[in-house]
Structure 1
Amino acid sequence: MRHKLRTGLTVLGLVVAILAFGLLRTVVDAWYAGAEGASSTRLVTRNSISLVFPLPINYQERIRRISGVTGISHASWFGGVYVTEKNFFPQFAIDPKTYFELYPEYLIPPGDMKAFRTDRKGCVIGRKLATTYGFKVGDTIPLRGTIYPGAWSFTVRAIYDGAEAGTDTSQFFFHWDYLNETMKKAAARRTDWVGVYVIQIADPDRAAEISTEVDAMFRNSLAETLTETEKAFQLGFVSMTEAIVVAIRIVSFVVIFIILAVMANTMAMTARERISEYATLKALGFGPRFLTGLIYGESIVISLAGGLIGIALTFPVADRFSKQMGTLFPVFGVSLDTVYMQIAAATAVGLAAAALPATRVARVSIVEGLRSIG
């Protein structure tokens, strides 16, 4: 506390660095949230060329007959715009009778589910989506079609919650039958197609075997398939933006390196100013181990003080950031692993910053130290 301003600014720098590190790591975790929450008993079948190309609806019954398949449904990306393009959220046309049976993590009251299934123009939305835009059951949501042109209108019949904190509750689901029948009037050649099939299997150990069997069934057809686990399917999207994820990771560690340099400079100045005092302690019989312990102790206390404040601030800042980003990051929360990394980073900075000053103090002679004027 001899130089309160310098110590305070160092702690403030540590707070900002640890906060930034935690926030950046949380962004990386959010990028992989879909893959981490994927089920090991669900497969996804898409067109082998690209997701842009659909699959015939008649594939469904053929896949259902494969041994080991216990359930199947389908989903099609809609890509509508709510008011303005910045209001992005995932929208899928689904089979209302089978889709939610494959996703038990989506919790919907039975009465609301019945209301959705009986209303062709009804929709189910996630709790985060409802909170972000203020939707409630009974509201009408207008969408402007992009992939499927026209003005579309849906009535909210149910709002689903997640069984776990990591469940994506930012999605919008409506009847595929409604989409298909409407398109028959506007573009008949674009009907009876789906985006992907979601397949439930009994034994996750047979995922590769069943995937191969599905793809073999449609080999050399007009719409060949690619079947993979749900996790692999989600990671395929992440790989498209892998460069961004890598950049964020690099920046998170650069922030720690910068604050390490600041902390090291602070400890070097502190030790240099006290050389004569350390020499006096040596003259009184205190050994090098005791003196280096003082320096390491001071450095770790400063770094952990800044680190703990930074960790405490990470949670409200991350929550605020999540609200500002809306549904861009469906799952955005600070994990325990991130907190452990923040603690480790703060401790490492404290230890590394004290290394050179402690070595110098341990080696300085009493005479040389007493001559020092700081």
Structure 2
Amino acid sequence: MKIAFYGSSLLSAYWNGAATYYRGLLRSLAERGYQITFYEPDIYERQQNRDIDPPAWCDVVVYEGTIPALKDVAVEAALADIVIKASGVGFEDDLLLEQVMTAARPAALKIFWDVDAPATLAELKGLPEHPLRKALADLDLVLTYGGGDPVVQAYRAMGAVECIPIYNALDPQTHHPVAPDCRFKADLGFLGNRLPDREARVEAFFLDSAAGLNNRSFLLGGSGWHDKPMAPNVHYIGHVSTRDHNAFNVTPKAVLNISRESMAQNGFSPATRVFEAAGAGACLITDYWEGIDRFLKPDEEVLVARDGGDVRDILTDLTDEHAAAIGRRALQRVLAEHTYQHRAVEVDRLFRSHFGSKEAAE
């Protein structure tokens, strides 16, 4: 079956946290026989900051960030059996949704794939005339990158026929244990872009912890933090290419996951960083969110902090041996239950069952 996937970017993770999710899941679907074309706009300097070449398992069409170019690629949805519009493409999202779903054949499976469901739902709340909300009833399926029952119920209440979370996972071909790299040596590392609904949490969990632990070293990676005040024991290194993520994760004694505010409040939304770190065998400390134990077991496979004070306490007591044991157990768990191969089996089953339902209804 042919998939036309309209997303933010497959080739670049620059200001694009969904990149590794797209890559892992779509490659695993390609291995199951799907023919995929990914359409991404040339915006936000992503094409100048590519971190992978166009892959053999997916055709990538890069189009100009103009309305005529958008319309040109939208008509190609008519060639696909499955038409997917992702959230957060970043250029004329509402128009893109309308254009690709109009172009899709009646027999095609029409899907909206939300990679930031809590934020999307907050935007839709109280706006019954929002283009996405009006389109939901005509879509076959809403898939989300997480969110659990709260997101499923909210989407159904807004008119979605069906909503199913497809969680982040590990791509073992990309994220795996490597040798430590002295560039990333620290007691605690955090990797994440500076975003409005994450910044206050980064201050509380990471920067304030650094200020309170002068005898520990902290490493900060990600875009946008260059003018952020921080303690002298925080080393800021800017954007970190995905090719360096494994070394970034395994070199510090521990790495920190800090969820965006909306995802932390909603729960059941493990970030890609959770599985990247676990896949590299890193000792992961995560902020608390409901549903953590569905993915990793607290205190055995992941360490959980409810605030910056917890982060400081964990770091103060954490030995190299304990950190290594946490990382080993996390790696074993995600390889056994949470790879993109596991997710692709689930998605393949969904696609085929929905095709069967459409054929039976005709």
TM-score bracket relative to the smaller structure: under 0.3
RCO (CA 8 Å, sep 6+): is it higher in 1 or 2? 1
Structure (1/2) with the larger helix percentage = 1
Structure with greater Cα Rg: 1
TM-score when normalising by structure 1: 0.22
TM-score when normalising by structure 2: 0.23
